Structure 1
Amino acid sequence: MGKTKSFPLLISAVLPVVILLALTGCGAKKIIPVEDAVGFDPGRSRIASWHELMREKREVPEMQKLEAVNSFFNRLEFAEDLIHWGKADYWASPQEMLVSNGGDCEDFATAKYFTLRQLDIPDEKMRLIYVKSLKLNQPHMILGYYAEPGMEPLVLDNFTDSILPASKRTDLLPIYSFNGQGFWLTRKRGSQRVGGPERLSLWQELRSRFNREVIAAPLPN
């Protein structure tokens, strides 16, 4: 899969644990700043395709939205943060990811989350989930979709276009999850909410940046 990188992800001091994560990337590309997208034809084309996807899939059933968004972003390249962005740990917005044609697992998962939110899938139906990939023996991030509260989630993963129930992904061991409303630690008998999303500073910064970019360049209605 390429080189392995390690970095600490600090969750608030009020938590009883500090989770250390190591994420993997491969095939990094030179970053093209978002503000230069107008002069970068491939990036501009990908942004236009993203807008078209959101216009075309707004009224389709939720499962079709999941499939379309998952396969759309999975076409992009998996790239290591340090080489791709020049930072050890950077969470890119969907716009940045599309312009630069790549990102790591966090970028794939959050891009799908933001896009599905734009397609009117409620926040409570989705969680970004940190897992350990038992097959690769490394941490990983996926997006979970819950059709109903308490139901088993479907897994959107940048490693595959197949969207499977979590019980079928025996290669993934969940650690914690979050969305725009809360933060949950995984327990043996399910997940336990331990606070709000503000416990993840990178997540809060990304949400703010995404909102600023949407104000500057509105997305399709």
Structure 2
Amino acid sequence: MIPQGHRERMPCSKLIAAIARRWLFAPILIVLAVGVAHALDFDRLLDRFLGLGGSAPVFREWQQLLTDAKSLGTKEKLRRVNDFFNRGLQFGDDQEIWGESDYWATLLETLAKGRGDCEDFTTAKYFTLLSAGVPGEQLRLVYVKAKIGGASSHVTQAHMVLAYYDTPEADPIVLDNLITELRPAARRPDLQPVFSFNGHGMWQGATGKAAAGGARTGRLSRWDDLLRRAKAEGFE
């Protein structure tokens, strides 16, 4: 099993105001090169994982998750992957885990540590679902303002979730480390989308229609860096 322990159920503490000001009114589309499932070299991945300090049983459980997913429908894949990381990873912030204020860990790094923040939960689920055959264009990483204490709360914190779109215009299903149950976005009034992205592009909010124009931010340069490091590990 992934290392167990009490996981703090809180959104990420990173501020979102500056991102919101820049992105709510400047939607963009950026074409990237990640999001197509391919056959993984598990021996290579295991060597890298062990080099990061991970244990073979943890890796084999993740590998078994992918093996089992081959015979599952998409909704069951979403549930299994969401549960795997929500139950197995402990929540922690980047400073205590990595000694940095904002570090985007690769899937293997997160598994090896057994800990992560909301971005790490989300990216780990994203790359696992890609590896399980879910098309990349149907998955979005979504920055949101999460209302602490429920939809009527006026207290918000920055948070990230993964969204699955059955069709481009569909109400997406939300995979969240705060709530284990998969829920459509319409049933998550506590989450206010700011912008979303994946290996194919970027969108204002979480709508299914992409919009063009605009410029990069420092936060998304971390996504670009993560894509490069994930590719180096063996995730195309």
Provide the rounded CA distance (Å) in 1 between the counterparts of 2:128 and 2:214. 22
Decide which of 97, 109, 114 is 2:110's aligned counterpart: 97
Please name the residue that 2:221 is paired with.
Answer: 201
Give the 5 Å matches for 1:43-58: 43-58=55-70
Give the 5 Å matches for 1:130-169: 130-135=143-148, 137-169=156-188
Amino acid at match of 2:108: Q
Displacement of 1:55 after TM fit?
Answer: 1.1
Displacement of 1:135 after TM fit?
Answer: 2.2
Amino acid at match of 1:119: A
Give the 5 Å matches for 1:109-188: 109-135=122-148, 137-186=156-205
Q: Does the CA-based 8 Å contact 1:43-1:98 persist in structure 2?
A: no
Amino acid at match of 1:94: L
Q: Does the CA-based 8 Å contact 1:123-1:179 persist in structure 2?
A: yes
Sort the Cα spacing of 1:181 and 1:196 in 2 relative to 1 into closer, same or farther, 3 A: farther
Please name the residue that 2:152 is paired with.
Answer: none
Provide the rounded CA distance (Å) in 1 between the counterparts of 2:68 and 2:21. 45
Q: Does the CA-based 8 Å contact 1:155-1:163 persist in structure 2?
A: yes
Are 1:17 and 2:28 an aligned pair? Answer: no
In structure 2, list runs of 5 or more residues that go unmatched. Answer: 1-7, 25-46, 150-155
Please name the residue that 1:67 is paired with.
Answer: 79
Displacement of 1:116 after TM fit?
Answer: 0.5
Amino acid at match of 1:17: R
Displacement of 1:94 after TM fit?
Answer: 1.0
Q: Does the CA-based 8 Å contact 1:43-1:100 persist in structure 2?
A: no
In structure 1, list runs of 5 or more residues that go unmatched. Answer: 20-33
Please name the residue that 1:26 is paired with.
Answer: none
Displacement of 1:124 after TM fit?
Answer: 1.1
After superposition, the CA RMSD in angstroms is 3.2
Q: Which structure's residues are more often strand, by fraction?
A: 1
Sort the Cα spacing of 1:39 and 1:138 in 2 relative to 1 into closer, same or farther, 3 A: closer
TM-score normalised by L of structure 2: 0.73
Displacement of 1:120 after TM fit?
Answer: 1.1
Displacement of 1:45 after TM fit?
Answer: 1.9
Sort the Cα spacing of 1:39 and 1:213 in 2 relative to 1 into closer, same or farther, 3 A: closer
Amino acid at match of 1:49: E
Q: Does the CA-based 8 Å contact 1:67-1:163 persist in structure 2?
A: yes
Provide the rounded CA distance (Å) in 1 between the counterparts of 2:16 and 2:192. 19
Alignment deviations for residues 95-125 of structure 1 (CA, whole Å, 9 cap, x no partner): 1001101100000011101110011111111
The count of corresponding residues between Structure 1 and Structure 2 is 197
Provide the rounded CA distance (Å) in 2 between the counterparts of 1:146 and 1:197. 25
Please name the residue that 1:22 is paired with.
Answer: none
Provide the rounded CA distance (Å) in 2 between the counterparts of 1:8 and 1:152. 24
Provide the rounded CA distance (Å) in 1 between the counterparts of 2:68 and 2:49. 27
* Structure 1 runs of 4+ with >6 Å offset: 8-11
Are 1:210 and 2:218 an aligned pair? Answer: no
